Amino acid sequence: MKKTLFLLLAVWVVGFGLAQDKLKACWIYVGPIGDYGWSHAHDVGRKEAMKALPWLETAYVESVPEAQVEPTIDKLVSEGCKVIFATSFGYMDGVLNAAKKYPEVLFGHATGYKRAPNVMTYLAEFNEVYYLNGLIAGALTKSGKVGYVAAFPIPEVKRHISAFALGVREVNPRATINVRWINAWFDPAKATEATNALMAQGNDVFAFTEDTPAVIQAAAKRNLPAFGHYSPMQKFSPKTVPSGQLVRWEKIYIDFLSKVRNGTYTNRNLDKVDYWWLLKEGAVELGGEFGVPINPAFVPALKAKRVTDKLTGKQTTVYDLVMARYEAMKAGKFSPFTGPIRDRNGILRVPAGQVYPIYSDKPGANQASMEWAAPGIVGQWPNEPKN
Amino acid sequence: MEEVWAALLRSVIFGTPILIAALGNLLNERAGVVNLGVEGMMAVGALAAFATAQTTGSGGLGVLAGVLAGGLFTLPHAFVAISLRANQFVSGLALAMLGLGLAGLLGKRFEGQPLLAPLPEMPFVYLGFGLAVALWAFLYLTHAGLVLRSVGENPAAADLLGIPVYRVRYWAVAAGGMFAGLAGAFLAVSYRSSWTEGMTNQLGWIAIALTIFVAWEPLRAVLGAYFFGLLYYLGFALQDSAIPSVFLQALPYALVIVVLALVAWRRRQGAAPEALGLPYERGRR
């Protein structure tokens, strides 16, 4: 009897010790994890982090409206979350308030720019991948009109469209990039009709910022190419998705959580922590499917199209150009925002020989807060700077 | 010219799910039962259609499953609203939320799965138009239509004439659900060809607004739905003009409100069936 009791006690103590040994991280998603876009990608990141870090325990709450983030954090903290990732821009102020209330909890805020001793910010940034897809789009368009279905006119989306346009124009200097705003992150019906409007106006290659494969599906009905976004979308139309943007949030999550675990990051030093991770860090990838940078169905067309590499001055094919730039960016040796770059109104934005800074003291004069449009972009552009 | 043609085409295509759902709603409202659950029934119909099409490989079977699922899913509302005589608005709202939630939950494993052979869109457009004409003929040219309308206008008088009020209302509500299921099926296996939680995206509510907008007339519903589709499409097609996109996209909804206000202004009584939303109990007035 005594023995059994002792054994039970031992098991309990050891079990308790093991539980104590775990780190509990919790995620807050703005959409349903099945959106197959943004929230889905974060949830894949969470699961991959669980696989990679045996000491990690996780929980998540999905479809949390932006105004509801504080009560959600209250609940998660009461359930023992030591690290909380808030994965929507609109959670920003709620996270900062909650961070003051719970100084011992560590917070990560995706896409935000406000930090605190226990709040870091992070982003898997796509501009390089958009630029590569732009190169491909410029080679594929026959009409010289490339369509872009865009979510909201905020700096992040504008930066991506501009990077895409820079790529299109590098291969096809006379092409236009026609933008239609749907003013929604998730709205497959709007994305579908916007794509149809663009098709009626002669656009024949498509890229987008929206959380579903709706643009791909609408374009596929006329057999027109469209790039995937966020998740592997090539399977939705295997013959019409040349490539796309893919994310690996787990790279950031694993790095951050490991450094929390080993004591590098604490609740006193996160105000200096900002992840702006690109191809070099492996946080993003080129492809409509992981491991397939360019859909084999489009490789012959891209190998047949010849261009001059503006960096080397040598003749090459678009396929080789994309691959060369891809490798250069993976090595951290190239940025799409390398000057000279003028915006569509002719104003010099990036002087020759310089790379546009990610951050700077002057608002609007860096990648993080840029509002201008690259040459070739046609369509409304709210808050376009006049000088 | 191609752009005009495209605008007309897109307006009838995008108008079709709204039209079909509105016709169903019009049918049950003509029998005197309000069903605010259209959005939920559409979601359930969309999921059932997609799941069936995906597993059997047949889009047609999918559509059938969507129709049946929509019809079955609405029965709890029929029971609560007709037999138990509870508040129809509350019960319908519950149905909308339940349908969205249930479809979201059951649909998890279908998320992110493509349907590689979607059905063409035009047959649904013809079907929607045909259903509108058929519904008009049913309501105004047949005895059964007269029975249905009288149940919606004055159930007590209909009851006195020996018309089984409850049974008529049950069938009308079930038929409304089937129409909504068909609208959802169109979205999932033809207009889009994949399932995503929340993919009905408020179209069910627009269908309910449209029912009032067209004063419960099936043929007007055709025009109303296509008009909405046109405004919706123009919200994107006209973006190269100077009109701000946010304004263009709010226009269809703003117009619905304006027309509703005009309708209310012109006819104080409105064209609504007299007994709309009122539970019927024999011997009570």
For chain B, domains (ranges, CATH) are 2-111+119-266 (1.10.3470.10)
Identify the three-state secondary structure at position A211.
Answer: coil
Quote the CA–CA distance of A292 and B254 in Å, as a whole number: 45
Which residue did the predictor score with more confidence, A280 or B113? Answer: A280
Q: What is the CATH number of domain A22-125+248-277?
A: 3.40.50.2300
Whether the pLDDT of residue A97 is over 90: the answer is yes
Cβ contacts of residue A65 below 8 Å, gap of 6+? A30
* Identity of residue A13: V
Kindly determine whether residue A193 and residue B239, on different chains, have CB atoms separated by under 8 Å.
Answer: no
Are the CB atoms for A124 and A182 separated by under 8 Å?
no
pLDDT tens track for A358-372: 998 888 899 999 999
Say what the pLDDT of residue B102 is.
95
pLDDT tens-digit map of B94-120? 999 999 999 999 998 888 888 878 899
**What confidence category does residue A53 fall into, taking pLDDT thresholds of 50, 70 and 90?**
very high
First CA to last CA distance, chain B: 59
Mean pLDDT of all residues in A23-46: 90
Nearest one of A21, A23, A22, A62 to A40, comparing CA atoms: A62
From B1, which residue of chain A is nearest by alpha-carbon distance? A200
Q: Is the pLDDT of residue A40 over 50?
A: yes
Stretch 160-189 of chain B: residues touching chain A, C-beta under 8 Å: none
The phi, psi pair for B275, rounded to 5°, reads -100, 20
- Which candidate, A19, A15, A41, places its Cα nearest to that of A30? A41
Q: What is the chain A residue with the closest CA to B235?
A: A194
Which pLDDT band, with edges at 50, 70 and 90, does A211 fall under?
A: confident
A110 confidence band (pLDDT: 50, 70, 90)? very high
Instruction: Yes or no: say if A206 and A225 are a contact pair by the CB < 8 Å rule.
Output: yes
Structure confidence at residue A164 (pLDDT): 98
> Is A379 close to B233, i.e. CB distance below 8 A?
no
Average pLDDT over residues A250-264: 96
Q: What residue segments make up the domains of chain A, in order of their start?
A: 22-125+248-277, 127-246+286-378
Instruction: Report whether B131 contacts B20 (CB < 8 A).
Output: yes
Q: Strand A306-308 and strand A315-317: pairing?
A: antiparallel
Percent helix, strand, coil in chain B, to 5, is 75, 0, 25
Tokens in use for A312? 């080397």
Using one digit for the tens of pLDDT, what is the confidence trace for A132-151? 999 999 999 999 999 999 99
DSSP A22: S
Name the residue facing B237 among A183, A189, A197 (closest C-beta): A197
When pLDDT is averaged across residues A77-83 and rounded to a whole number, the result is 96
Backbone angles phi, psi at A306, to 5 degrees: -100, 140
pLDDT score of B74 more than 90: yes
Predicted confidence (pLDDT) per residue in A326-355, tens digit: 999 999 999 999 999 999 999 999 999 999
* A34, A196, A379 ranked by CB distance to B10: nearest: A196
The per-residue pLDDT for B10 is 94
Cβ count within 10 A of residue B80: 19
Query: Which among B116, B203, B205, B236 is the top mutation candidate for probing chain A, defined by the most A β-carbons within 10 Å of its own β-carbon?
Result: B236
Q: Residue B56's pLDDT is what?
A: 93
- Of chain A, the percentage scoring pLDDT greater than 90 comes to 83
**Closest CA of chain A from B68, distance in Å:** 24
pLDDT at A364: 86
Q: Please name the residue that has the structure tokens 């000491």.
A: A55
Task: Say whether A127-246+286-378 and A22-125+248-277 share the same fold.
Answer: yes
Instruction: Return the CATH number of the domain spanning residue range A127-246+286-378.
Output: 3.40.50.2300
Provide, rounded to the nearest whole percent, the portion of chain A with pLDDT above 70.
95
pLDDT band at A17 (very low <50, low <70, confident <90, very high): very low
CB-based contact A200 B196, cutoff 8 Å: no
Give the ipTM of the model, two decimals please. 0.88
Residue A385's pLDDT is 93
Q: Which positions in chain A touch B246 (Cβ < 8 Å)?
A: 181, 183
Interchain CB distance below 8 Å, A192 and B237? no
pLDDT category at A20 given cuts 50, 70, 90 is: low
Per the prediction, chain A carries an average pLDDT of: 92
Select the residue from B245, B248, B251 to test the A interface by mutation, using most A Cβ atoms within 10 A: B245
* Partner A contacted by B1 (CB < 8 A): no
Residue A9 pLDDT greater than 80, yes or no: no
From residue A248, alpha-carbon distances to A12, A268, B140 in Å are 38, 27, 60
For the record, the structure tokens of B13 come out as 């295509």
A214 touches chain B (CB under 8 A): yes
When CB atoms are compared, the residue of A34, A200, A382 closest to B196 is: A34
State pLDDT tens for residues A174-191.
999 999 999 988 889 999
Residue B124 has pLDDT above 80, yes or no: yes
